[in-house]
Structure 1
Amino acid sequence: MTAAQERSYTELAPRYCIPYQKGPVDMASLFGNTNPVTIEIGFGMGDATARIAEAHRECNYLGIEVHRPGVGKLLWEIEQRHLENIRIIEHDAVEVLMDMIPDQSVAAFHIFFPDPWPKKRHHKRRLIQRPFTDLLVQKLKTGGYVYMTTDWEDYAYWALREFSATPGLLNPYWKAGEAEAENGFARGQQWRPETKFERKGKAKDHRIWELYLIKGTSLETQN
């Protein structure tokens, strides 16, 4: 951690970081309002998280991250940008969702550039696979969305298959009757800031793959 990150962590964590607990949290009490809550899983250094929260102060953002320097950096961003709509949980995301997040309480999940675990023997460690995707659906409100990005083509197709096999998730970018190659991937969302991992991927001439799926029984549930 840099000196600034360490200072921010020491001074601001008691205010903005929520300790892990084996029991559901009340989102309204957590943020002091009933605004919709987006959960970002693995926010890295938090740059994109802070920029999105700053642009949408009418929404709440709960970041889950285990990398303490990243937590310190996001706390620094919170202070610099005067943000009151971000809270952080420094713990394993699967346990947080299972133990702390009430069912049907989340408006959106952001999962930007998760670890691709590129070696085949490590694929079982990838975050995006069932039954984790079923857990996301369980926590989402009807009409809520999951938004994932990656610069690894293999992971993109892997995630598309896992999301497509998850009951309750609908893909507004899937076009029936069209060739399956690249069908189902989303267009870039203009409101999403570029991340550090995205810049690294582009420097390697990697394409950015995006997935955007909605919870519901029909696409008419999209907000």
Structure 2
Amino acid sequence: MKNNIITPRYNLEGVFLRQIHSFVCRKGRTTTSQLSAIKKYWSLIGVDFQLNALNFSSIFKHRAPIILEIGFGSGESLVKTAMNFPEKNFLGIEVYKSGIGSCLHYASSYQIQNLRIIYYDATEVMYNMIPDDTLSKVQIFFPDPWHKKRHHKRRLLKNIFLKIITKKLIIDGILHIATDSESYAFYILDEIKDIKNYKNLSEKNNFVKRPVSRIITKFEKKGLLQGKKIFDLMFQLKK
């Protein structure tokens, strides 16, 4: 597994160009168990970043609809969802090594066969690795809301990224977002409203009820106990 999660960029004079990302490259603590899982199972489930589009037939054992999850955290809910839907293939993207190790541990424990994961910046993965018109669903659960206004530029779900997703989804494919930040939820609605390909599946053109297929995570349970409201947004890609 490669250790870098972003592609460094330089100008013509060779000066490093600082980029704005939706995450911070912090050195979080990776446990011995997580490091062990990476060593043991990355070659079985992990997919290294590349500048060419993936051939999904070569990385998955069976041909099936592909669901992409961006920022899967510990990976526990992603693994359980993959286990609940063996007739579908799941691809996860995460930038924190602790989450990668944790996900690999869960996947090996449940002997999951229909899951692959990528350790890299999701924006670059979407641009370079995901072929157009291939994903049946993209799910992004509890992305960092970057609450302070000066940090809004770091938000992942801006208009430009939402447009990229339209190119990767198949027609009638689904974009499902969940957040516990009301301000971010309305920000997303505002960013997506002018993208004509998306049809909001909410009757009131705002939020939907949590689908039973979306497993409640530990993070979400903690938020609910604190009285936080959860917002589910769901859109379908139309011609």
Contact 2:61 2:114 in 1 (8 A): no
Structure 2 residue 91 is the aligned partner of structure 1 residue 62:
yes
Q: Show the counterpart of 2:212.
A: 190
Following the alignment from structure 2 to structure 1, what is the Cα–Cα distance between the partners of residues 57 and 229? 39
1:145 aligned to which of 166, 174, 179? 174
- Which of 189, 193, 199 in structure 1 is aligned with 2:221? 199
Instruction: Tell me, in whole angstroms, the C-alpha distance in 1 between the residues paired with 2:203 and 2:51.
Output: 38
Identify which of 160, 163, 173 aligns with 1:131: 160
Report the counterpart of residue 211 of structure 1 in structure 2: 233
Give the letter aligned to residue 162 of structure 2: T
Structure 1 match to 2:5: none
Provide the C-alpha distance between the structure 1 equivalents of 2:116 and 2:228, rounded to a whole number of angstroms: 32
The SS at the match of 1:211 is strand
1:221 equivalent in structure 2: none
TM-score where L is the length of structure 1 = 0.91
Output the CA distance in 2 between the equivalents of 1:214 and 1:28. Answer: 25
How far does the alpha carbon of each residue in 1:62-83 deviate from its partner, in whole angstroms, 9 at most, with x for none?
0000101110111011111110
Structure 2: any 5+ residue segments left out of the alignment?
1-29
Larger deviation: 130-139 or 155-164?
A: 155-164
Tell which deviates more after alignment, 203-212 or 142-151: 203-212
In structure 2, C-alpha distance between the alignment counterparts of 1:82 and 1:131, rounded to whole Å = 37
Match of 1:113 in 2: 142
Where 1:147 maps in the other structure, the secondary structure is strand
Q: Which runs of 4+ in 1 moved over 3 A?
A: none
Query: How much has 1:202 moved relative to structure 2?
Result: 1.5
Deviations 1:1-29 (A, max 9, x none): 22221111111011111110001011111
Q: Give the superposition deviation at 1:42.
A: 0.3
- Out of 67, 91, 94, the position equivalent to 2:123 is 94
**Which shifted more, 205-214 or 27-36?**
27-36
Give the aligned length: 210
Task: Deviation per CA, 1:125-174: give whole Å up to 9, x if none.
Answer: 11111110000000000011000000010001001111222231101214
47, 64, 74: which one aligns with 1:35 = 64
Distance 2:151 2:124 in 1: 20
2:182 partner amino acid: E
C-alpha RMSD of matched pairs (Å): 1.1
Structure with greater helix share of residues:
1
One-letter code of the match for 1:12?
Answer: Y
**CA distance in 1 between partners of 2:91 and 2:134 (Å):** 12
Between the aligned partners of 1:91 and 1:167, the Cα distance in structure 2 is 29
| CA contact 1:134–1:167 (8 Å) conserved in 2 | no
Task: Give a deviation string over 1:29-86, Cα, whole Å, max 9, x none.
Answer: 1102210110000000001101100000110100000101110111011111110101
TM-score, length-scaled by structure 2: 0.85
